[in-house]
A and B are shown apart, each in its own frame.
Chain A
Amino acid sequence: MRRDEALDALERAETVGRRAHDRGRWYMLFAVLFSAATFTLTVTIGLFPTTTTIFTAMAVYLVLLTCLITFALRQPVQPRGYGWLHGLAMLGWGAVYGVTLFVGYAFFPEDPAWWVSGAALGTVPPMVAGWLAVRRNRSAA
């Protein structure tokens, strides 16, 4: 193989790798929308804990979640590290959400400082996962 052939092959690998990587950027959008939905849900059910509000917020959230899951399942590419990134993001979010909910209802009912902080903290794991999925090396080439 000649030098120019090697350069051509490397350039081709870079181009194809970049295309594939860029198609995995949907996960950042997923993370942003999921974070926005979960932030709104947490703040709503924490600051306005009536049966009607909780029921309505949960119903809207479930519809949004179904749309997000459908969107994710229809994507042709899973970004690098998707499995463990998404798994850790959901575990992290679940832990923060659980603590915010149970501790909040027990000790800080309708306290904006607690609920807004908890809701904001819950967006960190998915946002970090989305950012990591986007910034990872495009390819080994």
Chain B
Amino acid sequence: MNHPRGMLDDVIHSPVRFSVVAALAAVDRAEFRFVRDTVEVTDSALSKQVTVLENAGYVRVHKVAVGRRTRTSLSLSEEGRTAFEQHVRALRDIASGEAVRPPGDG
């Protein structure tokens, strides 16, 4: 038996990144400013966390030119969605006090 904390995803574990991924998991795509306001962080703080998530392959950044401005939106990759779901399962196991068996452990 393992403690479910071993199933937690290191990239998503940070509170801000977890909130960003949770917001994106509920939609197909969200604008950067909407995510910033929803997670309640500054532009620069969100940019840093999004870069970490993007480098991990969990988040995709889309930029579209609208007139003179650039509209930035974010979406969760399939890999990011899977990681988020696994992270949430681990959190639920921790919350319920359950231990988990590693794969292949009969």
Residues on A lying within 8 angstroms of B by beta carbon are 1-3, 6-7, 9-10, 12-14, 16-21, 23-24, 76-83, 138-141
Could you give 27 example pairs across A and B, Cβ below 8 Å?
A1-B5, A1-B8, A1-B94, A10-B88, A10-B91, A10-B92, A12-B19, A13-B88, A16-B22, A16-B38, A20-B24, A20-B38, A21-B26, A23-B30, A24-B26, A24-B27, A77-B30, A77-B34, A78-B29, A79-B27, A79-B28, A80-B27, A83-B28, A140-B81, A141-B22, A141-B25, A141-B88
Q: With A3-B97, A6-B94, A6-B95 known to touch, is A20 a contact of B19 (CB < 8 Å)?
A: no
B residues 24-59 touching A (CB-CB < 8 Å)? 24-31, 33-34, 38-39
Q: With CB as the reference atom, state the residue of chain B lying closest to A73.
A: B66
A17-B22, A79-B27, A80-B27 in contact; A9/B39 too (CB < 8 A)? no
With both beta carbons as reference points, the residue of chain A lying nearest to B32 in the complex is identified as A76
Q: What total count of A-B pairs have CB within 8 Å?
A: 91
Cβ of B15 < 8 Å from any Cβ of A?
yes
A13 touches B29 (CB 8 A): no
A10-B92, A78-B29 in contact; A139/B22 too (CB < 8 A)?
yes
- Verify B22–A12 contact, CB threshold 8 A: yes
B contact residues vs A (CB 8 Å cutoff) = 5, 8, 15, 18-19, 22-31, 33-34, 38-39, 81, 84-85, 88, 91-92, 94-95, 97
Chain B residues near A12: list those with CB within 8 A.
15, 18-19, 22
- Given A76-B30, A77-B27, A80-B26, check contact A16 B91 (CB 8 Å): no
- Residue pair A16, B94 in contact (C-beta under 8 Å): no
- CB neighbours (8 Å) of A18 from chain B are 26
- In the complex, what residue of chain A is closest to B5 when comparing beta carbons? A1
Which of B27, B28, B29, B92 has the most CB atoms of chain A within a 10 A radius of its CB? B27
Q: Which of B18, B28, B34 contacts A13 (CB 8 A)?
A: B18
Is there an interface contact between B84 and A140, defined as CB atoms closer than 8 Å? yes
